[in-house]
Amino acid sequence: MIPAVEAHNLTVSYARKPVLWDVDFTLPQGKIIGIVGPNGSGKTTLLKTIMGLLKPDSGYAELLGKPLDDIRERIAYVPQRESVDWDFPASVMDVVLMGRYRKKNLFKRLTREDKQLATEALEKVNLLEFANRQISQLSGGQQQRVFIARSLAQMADVYLMDEPFVGVDAATEESILQLLTNMREDGKTVVIVHHDLQTAQSYFDWIVLLNTRLVACGPTAAVFTDDNLKDAYGGRLNLLSKLGDLISQKEFPLREKGFEDKKAHSNPPEGKE
């Protein structure tokens, strides 16, 4: 089967400092895949480079065996919630309908089918009752689900999501995970930038473990080993035991210390984490 995503010798720099260095991997179709690593490891940079939002210094990425420009309509992108202007005067339905526009028909009139697909997408994220509400009036978790609904309305095959679980409550996180599981059962591929090591072990079929360079890539059980996690996180993981005990509250925080506070009070520079 053709890989969902391929990266070949990707190197990306900011101010001549490498953020990604010679990254090379292949990701299978029909999986929920996590991109995991410490803060500043290049996770968001990797996703943006795959999406063509950043130009690599060297190397290239392909999706479903083709360059992005040849297959863009089959790829959906969900950015970090903090990178979106939520004060823009648009309703929830307006935002979801954006997923029905294509590069070749930006000025087309939306059809009844388009509106039906947008309605079904809102039903899947349990937000149909908010269809006419302004997006600025929603909670953070609801806003996140609106952008996921927009990507669902696009009817893509590969979904790239940048931290969809950040800033949502436990119930919303569980509902998003169930939605992603349903997407996988429909043959979709979902690639997610993620910070929470504890949930990563149970959420993802496949892991890309990153710290500027590629540490490991493969099925979750094969990637989450003592050596790989030490290699990726270094001194941040002081007490490692058997694989089943690696991810525990006693050993290190569920989310990296200060991450949520930082996300709540400031927006990171473009392309950085």
What does the pLDDT read at residue 2? 93
Domain ranges of the chain: 5-265
d(CA 134, CA 150): 15
What pLDDT score was predicted for residue 173? 86
Chain centroid offset of residue 270 CA: 16
Contact 140, 81 (CB under 8 A): yes
Q: Give pLDDT tens digits along the chain (273 positions).
A: 899 999 999 999 988 888 999 999 999 999 999 999 998 899 999 999 999 999 999 999 999 999 999 998 899 999 887 766 767 788 999 999 988 876 555 567 788 888 999 999 999 998 999 999 998 888 888 888 898 999 999 999 999 999 988 877 888 888 889 999 999 999 999 999 998 888 898 999 999 999 999 999 999 999 999 899 999 988 555 433 333 344 444 444 444 444 444 444 444 444 445
Q: Return the pLDDT at 162.
A: 93
By CB atoms closer than 10 A (0-12, 13-18, 19+), residue 10 is: buried
pLDDT at 157: 95
- What pLDDT is attached to residue 248? 46
Token duo for residue 95: 């935002």
Q: Which CATH code of 3.10.20.30, 3.40.50.300, 3.40.50.1010, 2.70.70.10 fits the domain covering 5-265? A: 3.40.50.300
